[in-house]
Structure 1
Amino acid sequence: MKRRKRTRQLIELGGLIAKAGLIELTDDDRAVILGALVEVAARLRSAEREAFVMLWRRRGKRAFVSDPEERDGSIRD
């Protein structure tokens, strides 16, 4: 069961990368996508962590609301 849960989590996270448009915007360059994620991780380790989290949470919620497939109320906090 643990493995199935992890697989589902990885698929959902990949879906978020696609939903954000990163695949098209980077021409599916995985090094660029990983570099961007490493930058996000660095910002989350910084003193401005809370400000970034608040900003990104608002943007993420807006992106979910603007997507008709996500209007079922499945947005997680």
Structure 2
Amino acid sequence: MRTWQVERRKRTRHLIELGGLVVKAGIVELSNDDRAIIYGAMLWIAAKLQSHEGEHARSLWAAEGRQAFDAERDKMRMGWRT
């Protein structure tokens, strides 16, 4: 396989994973799959991260994301035991 093909597959996988996060967070359902709302929200996030409050927002959102990932992992582990 050529280098460009490997890189393209890596990029495709990355984009699919990011899209999965949008679905996992419930954004698609909550926005009725309105791409303008989703894009607008992402632009708002980007602006927030670039602002003077960026580091604070980054810390809060990272902590919340880690907590959600941990809760999901724990839920899956419990499901496997039963």
Q: Structure 2: which amino acid aligns with 1:26?
A: S
Q: TM (normalized to structure 2)?
A: 0.80
Task: Quote the sequence identity (%).
Answer: 50
CA RMSD, Structure 1 to Structure 2 (Å): 1.9
Which runs of 4 or more aligned residues in structure 1 lie more than 3 Å from their structure 2 counterparts after TM superposition? 68-72
After superposition, the Cα gap between the structure-2 partners of 1:55 and 1:5, relative to the gap in structure 1 and judged at 3 Å, is same
Count how many residue pairs are aligned between Structure 1 and Structure 2: 72
Listed as ranges, the gaps of 5+ residues in structure 2 are 1-5, 78-82
Task: Indicate the structure (1 or 2) with the bigger Cα radius of gyration.
Answer: 2
Larger RCO (CA under 8 A, 6+ residues apart): 1
When residues 60 and 20 of structure 1 are mapped into structure 2, their CA distance, relative to the original with a 3 A threshold, is same
- Is there any run of 5+ residues in structure 1 with no aligned partner, and where? 73-77
Deviation at 1:71, TM superposition (A): 6.0
Q: Which residue does 2:70 correspond to in 1? A: 65
For 2:16 and 2:74, how far apart are their aligned partners in 1? 16
What TM-score do the two structures reach when normalised by structure 1?
Answer: 0.85
Q: Distance in 2 between matches of 1:32 and 1:46?
A: 21
* Structure with the larger helix share: 2
Partner of 1:22: 27
